[in-house]
Amino acid sequence: QKEVEQNSGPLSVPEGAIASLNCTYSDRGSQSFFWYRQYSGKSPELIMSIYSNGDKEDGRFTAQLNKASQYVSLLIRDSQPSDSATYLCAVSTFGSNYKLTFGKGTLLTVNP
């Protein structure tokens, strides 16, 4: 059974701080890794994807992947109240977004 684990939170950070979200996965054959954001009552939306070890930056977001440790993280710099949402980690053994296995999500609250 493939598992994706996330800290359930809630994670609370002050506005302007760095929010760090973590995810571990059990299947060593995993190839594709995604972070989705889901606002309350809304559908998930993709914010980052990463396929190789190292860091990938996109604006205030940085995804980090360490396949040896089976660990993927998301850093949000200069956190804003609008970043308050549930963040979902998703993993696939395919080289793309087929058959995603999702973690249960981490609720992030950014306090003004």
Partner 1 sequence: EAQVTQNPRYLITVTGKKLTVTCSQNMNHEYMSWYRQDPGLGLRQIYYSMNVEVTDKGDVPEGYKVSRKEKRNFPLILESPSPNQTSLYFCASSSPGGSTDTQYFGPGTRLTVL
Number of residues that bind partner 1 (CB under 8 A): 20
- Exactly one of 40, 43, 52, 82 binds partner 1 (CB under 8 A); that residue is 43
Q: How far apart are CA 85 and CA 10, in angstroms?
A: 10
Nearer to partner 1, 42 or 77 (CB): 42
Give CB contacts under 8 A, 24+ apart, made by 26-29. 26/1, 26/2, 26/70, 27/2, 27/3, 27/91, 27/93, 27/101, 28/67, 28/70, 29/93
| Binder of partner 1 out of 26, 39, 104, 111 (CB under 8 A) | 104
Provide, rounded to whole angstroms, the least separation between the CB of residue 95 and partner 1: 8
Binding site for partner 1 (CB under 8 A): 32, 42-46, 49, 88, 90, 94, 96-105
